[in-house]
Structure 1
Amino acid sequence: MTIVYALIARGKAVLAEFTATAGNFPTVTRVLLNKIPTEATRMSYVWDAHVFHYIVENGVTYLCMADEQSRRRVPFAFLEDIKTKFGAQYGASIHTAPAFSMNAEFAPILQRQMDAFNSNPPGDSLQGVRSQIEDVRAGMLENVDKVLERGEKIELLVDKTDQLNQQAFRFDRASRSLRRTMYWRKVKTGVAAAGVAVILMFAAGATACGGVTFSHCRS
Structure 2
Amino acid sequence: MSLIHALVARGSTILAEHQAGERDFSQATQTILSKIPPNNSKLTYVWEQYLFHYISEGGFTYLVMADDSAGRRMPFTFLAELQQKFTSLPSASTSLSSPPAYALQGSFGPVIAQLMHTYNTAPPADELARAQSELAQVKDIMVQNVEQILSRGERIELLVDKTDTMASQATAFRRGARTVRRSMWWKNTRVVGLSFVVALVLLWIIIAQFCGAGLNQCSSK
TM-score (norm 2): 0.55
Distance 1:128 1:104, change over 3 A: farther
Distance 1:99 1:128, change over 3 A: farther
Q: Is the 8 A contact 1:77 1:128 kept in 2?
A: no
- RMSD of equivalent CA atoms: 2.0
Structure 2: gaps of 5 or more residues = 132-221
Task: Give the distance between the partners of 1:52 and 1:38, measured in 2 at CA.
Answer: 17
Task: Give the distance between the partners of 1:28 and 1:130, measured in 2 at CA.
Answer: 34
Structure 1: gaps of 5 or more residues = 132-219
Structure 2 partner of 1:38: 38
Question: Would you say 1:92 and 2:117 are equivalent positions?
Answer: no
Structure 1 partner of 2:112: 110
TM-score (norm 1): 0.55
* Larger Cα-atom Rg: 2
Q: Is the 8 A contact 2:14 2:102 kept in 1?
A: yes
Q: Deviations over 1:99-141 (max 9, x none)?
A: 2110011111111000101111122xx218999xxxxxxxxxx
Residues matched between the structures, number: 129
Q: Deviations over 1:137-195 (max 9, x none)?
A: xxxxxxxxxxxxxxxxxxxxxxxxxxxxxxxxxxxxxxxxxxxxxxxxxxxxxxxxxxx
User: In proportion to residue count, which structure has more helix?
Assistant: 2
Task: Give the distance between the partners of 1:19 and 1:122, measured in 2 at CA.
Answer: 20
Task: Give the distance between the partners of 1:129 and 1:43, measured in 2 at CA.
Answer: 21
Structure 2 partner of 1:21: 21
Structure 1 partner of 2:62: 62
Distance 1:16 1:2, change over 3 A: same
Aligned-pair CA distance for 1:27: 1.2
Structure 1 partner of 2:81: 81
* Identity in percent: 37
Structure 2 partner of 1:101: 103
Higher RCO by CA contacts (8 Å cutoff, separation 6 or greater): 1
Task: Give the distance between the partners of 2:9 and 2:63, measured in 1 at CA.
Answer: 8
In structure 2, the residue corresponding to 1:44 is in which secondary structure? strand
